[in-house]
Structure 1
Amino acid sequence: MSQQLKENGTLEDYKARQLKKHKTLATCCLVFMAAVYLLMVFLMKKEPAGWMGYVSAFAEAGVVGALADWFAVTALFHHPMGLKIPHTNLIERKKNTIGNNLGGFVVDNFLTPMALRPYFEKLDVATMAGGYLAIERNREQMLQEAMKMAKELLEKTDDQAAARFLKNKGRDLLETVNLGPTLGSALDLLLSQGQDQRLLNYLLEKLKYYIAGNEELVKERVKKKAAFWCRVLLITCWPIVLPLGLPIISMRFTRHLITRLDKK
């Protein structure tokens, strides 16, 4: 068939030629049966013989069957000979109803959970997927398709909309997740296993590398924050510092005054 398509044109052309060929064959058979029937009728009147009755009945049945089939098939899709006979052209007039009924029949009888469950129970998806991905060519193809889909998705995604989405979802996740008990349990586990010192050393090591790699940034941040925290410390602690500082200031002032008088 593929060779015929290459030689003779498109699939639609091939179907049209095949339909025409079968119609011609069916018409020739009908004409042949009709000719045999008429010949037998003529011969039976001229020189009757016993076998002619059988041939005549055979030819008559062929003609009647061919006409019945032609009318039935034509009546399903068209009005025979253009005559709008009742119960003809059924497919064209009721194609939507027929389609709905056929779809409902398939769904109700073949796509029910009870009908599909045995087939799904026989499927070993993990084994099938593992066998498929065990072949290197399939893995490469899957990776290429995944990268292609991801690239298309990123190209079609609005950056601002994606940023807003991730920000909102991240905030919602942080609000819903209670990290306190989780971190507490993790610290208890580390303490019980004696791993707290290793964790502290690890964090200090990472902090050292961070400060060494961002020395200028750390210095700038410390300068900006140092004055603020000094003011906070003075405002917070002045009730304690002032009583302790007054005697010291008085003693220094008295000593300075005595020194000046001795010089005079």
Structure 2
Amino acid sequence: MSPVSRQIVEQLKRIEEEEDVRILYACESGSRAWGFPSKDSDYDVRFIYIRPVEWYLSIFEKRDVIERPISDKLDINGWDLKKALRLFLKSNPPLLEWLQSPIPYMENGPVAGLIRGIAPRAFSPSSCMHHYLHMAKGNYREYLQGERVKIKKYFYVLRPILACAWIETYGGMPPIEFLTLVDALVPNGSELKGVILDLLARKMAGDELDYEPRIERINEFLEEKLAYYERAVLGIKPGMGGQEHRLDELFREALQVTWGTSRTGG
């Protein structure tokens, strides 16, 4: 385990003690998990936690997230399991990405594995494509118009556009790693792939990638695909759904496995 990973696990264990929770799963999200971190990138740590049984037996709505201020490049926050499962029913892409992160920090108990097992049946191509298209449109509009653009933001439009292409082509949740998407969906030997890989190599080498003249070949590709997926998303199927009962069972099982009987009830 690297020194940073050890520090992250220590912080997660501290959160467990301070908040009286158990962390079921924790991972890296963001640019490090996607495969294009900068040398100064934060560690975007996301986790799913569960509280004791009695916390859920209340007539009051309670805060269902835990957040910590960014410190020493550590950006750590998490969702209560009930919140995570509700979002899972909506095929929430950030949560689905967490579950397949290539950089896990903690996985305690069977919950994360059980959710992964249900994911293909609960996946909504329509919901996820809408999410990625919205992300791509927003980042393109904000960062990549004009003669000079913020070069590193190309990755934050390319990745969601390629995610749309994956959903259209394969009908499932896109892989989290950017290079996997590029290899699968951008033709080998094409000018576009060469330009993307050159840009990725620069970013991985630690180049600043600040404002530079826009890259016409990538802009042409993005404008074409943004227009295409605006139309295509209307014909994408919503998915099967219908996993509510199984998720209720999973939540109760997680409570039992983690805490046993309620501590107030003996």
User: TM-score per shorter chain, which class?
Assistant: under 0.3
Please identify which structure carries the higher helix content: 1
Q: TM-score, normalized by length of structure 1?
A: 0.19
Quick check: which has more Rg, 1 or 2? Answer: 1
Please identify which structure carries the higher strand content: 2
| Larger relative contact order (Cα-Cα within 8 Å, sequence gap ≥ 6) | 2
